[in-house]
Chain A
Amino acid sequence: MCIKGKLTGKNMSGKVKLHYFNGRGRMETIRWLLAGAGVEFEEYFFETREELIKLQQSGVLLFQQVPLVEIDGMKMVQTRAILNYIAAKHNLYGKDLKERVLIDMYVEATMDLNDLIMRHPMQPPEGREKNLALIVDKATNRYFPAYEKVLKDHGQDYLVGNQFSRADVQVLETILMMEEMKPDILAKFPLLQGFKARISNIPTIKKFLQPGSQRKSKIEEKMVPQVMKIFYG
């Protein structure tokens, strides 16, 4: 559901509200986690730089940046802070400090890889092929082997603590984005293939993966200059 409207003082519906542009960017992981946790949310999309500036001038953005998520009476900024809050609130952050640190290690790595993926369309055309090769290399030789081994070593269905956590959601998100860049990226990772199928079939995730959900599509190349203009002028 997209509501284009003003940022009101109070969130009267109590629903979680996301403020961002109508695309993936840094908000997508938050959408995934909310969806995975079965939490409904509304979205406000800004489409011009003027709208972002207005948001900045309203004083609601602690560091003048989005994502902004209104949740539980707070106007939260900073992607990691938001993700940590949602995960902890919805029992997706492990049972103790040691499980938590494993989850953190795994998701920090997905965020490193997501960052590369997110910046890829911003590369000048001449550099794109090389950049793609770099990303594929990192996924294939650094990140995915680590997750494959985790699954191999404990033989469990989920990455941490034998229960569904944010690590599973975030790794699935990254796998799917990598597959968009290279469809056979999981060719050497049979356990990750099984993991992908399994996590995709979890009811909340399955729903999010269906057309018509709030999951955003990969940005179209022709839209990139427009999006850059919103953020950088």
Chain B
Amino acid sequence: MLQGTHTPGVLRKVFGGTHRNLKRGSMSGKPKLTYFNGRGRMESIRWLLAAAGVEFEEDFLETREQYLKLIQDGHLLFDQVPLVEIDGMKMVQTKAILSYIAGKHNLYGKGLKERAFIDTYVEGTTDLMQMILTLPFSPPEAKKKNLPLIIEKAKNRYFPAYEKALKQHGQGFLVGNQLSWADVHLLEAILMVEEKEPTVLSEFPLLQGFKTRISNMPTIKKFLQPGSQRKPQPDDKYVATVMKILKEG
């Protein structure tokens, strides 16, 4: 269906082409991530690959020219990053990429119902992390106002739901008694909120235990160590770079 030496147009954008794409593609066969040198929407992908024990390479966007060239060369299906080159495909759209990695590496549960639980939990943590992700890009007055609202939502809407989930089944993982994408994503969210409010888990004993347990899993422990590909919190320089590259205001 999608085989053959000639894959024109948009399929080249997704499935790679001939020699032209080899130059961009990963020579080592490892997944290659193209994004700004910071967390943003790519961070959850870094977390999931790391948790799955998958080594990856990174190409950082530093100038608008680089970004425009990516578009011109037809690498971005919808002219957007994240871009992940993996298994001969040029994947875009964060959720699509995460679902693929989860599915491939057995982090998506066993069966439709477990999958539904994982999807639901991941959507919650996505909404929560999205609020934090966009914060540095909002005007200073909005930042001041929004941060307490985010903490409030974490404490009153999101964390209670996950605490309850753990309480109900009494298991170590959120879904199906084994590590899944939902656990990795929740840990990422917990750590992100704690960076803003260190005591945020004070009323959630099960989440505290969860945090410790998941943090100690070998692949995740490794990712949490200094020198890993985990990115630090965004600073003004990062924000300025992103705005310049995307020409947003």
Contact = CB atoms under 8 A, between A and B. Distances in A.
Partners in one complex: yes
Interface centre among B77, B97, B104 (most CB of A within 10 A): B77
B167 interface: no
Contacts of A109: 77-78, 93
A77 interface: yes
Contacts of B99: 100-101, 104
B93 A63 contact: no
Contacts of B104: 97
Given A63-B124, A104-B96, A105-B14, A81 B119 contact: yes
B95 interface: yes
Q: Which 10 A-B pairs have the closest CB atoms?
A: A104-B96, A81-B119, A149-B10, A78-B123, A108-B93, A81-B120, A101-B100, A105-B96, A85-B116, A153-B9
Interface residues of B, number: 37
A63 B158 CA distance: 6
Interface in A77-107: 77-81, 84-85, 88-89, 97-98, 100-102, 104-105
Given A84-B119, A100-B100, A154-B11, 14 more contacts: A63-B158, A72-B113, A74-B116, A78-B119, A81-B122, A81-B123, A85-B112, A85-B119, A88-B115, A100-B103, A104-B99, A142-B78, A161-B1, A162-B1
Contacts of A62: 120, 124, 161
A149 B15 CA distance: 14
A105 B119 contact: no
Interface centre among B7, B79, B104 (most CB of A within 10 A): B79
Interface size class of A (residues with CB under 8 A): 20 to 34
Interface string B117-151: 00110111001000000000000000000000000
Interface in B98-113: 99-100, 103-104, 112-113
Contacts, number: 93
A105 B123 contact: no
Given A101-B91, A105-B93, A146-B10, A63 B161 contact: yes
B100 A150 contact: no
A153 B93 CA distance: 21
Interface of B: 1-2, 7-11, 14, 77-79, 87, 89, 91-97, 99-100, 103-104, 112-113, 115-116, 119-120, 122-124, 127, 157-158, 161
A64 interface: yes
Contacts of B14: 102, 105
Contacts of B100: 97, 100-101, 104
A19 to B, nearest CB: 15
A76 interface: yes
A52 to B, nearest CB: 15
A153 B79 CA distance: 18
Contact of B127 (A63, A84, A104): A63
A171 to B, nearest CB: 13
A152 B97 CA distance: 24
Given A109-B93, A142-B79, A161-B1, A88 B119 contact: no
Contacts of B115: 84-85, 88
A46 interface: no
Contacts of A104: 93, 95-96, 99-100
B182 to A, nearest CB: 11
B183 to A, nearest CB: 16
A226 to B, nearest CB: 24
Nearest to A59: B164
Nearest to A143: B78
Contact of A76 (B78, B116, B161): B116
Contacts of B123: 78-81
Contacts of A85: 112, 115-116, 119
Given A80-B95, A85-B116, A149-B10, A101 B78 contact: no
A76 B120 contact: yes
Given A78-B123, A80-B123, A63 B9 contact: no
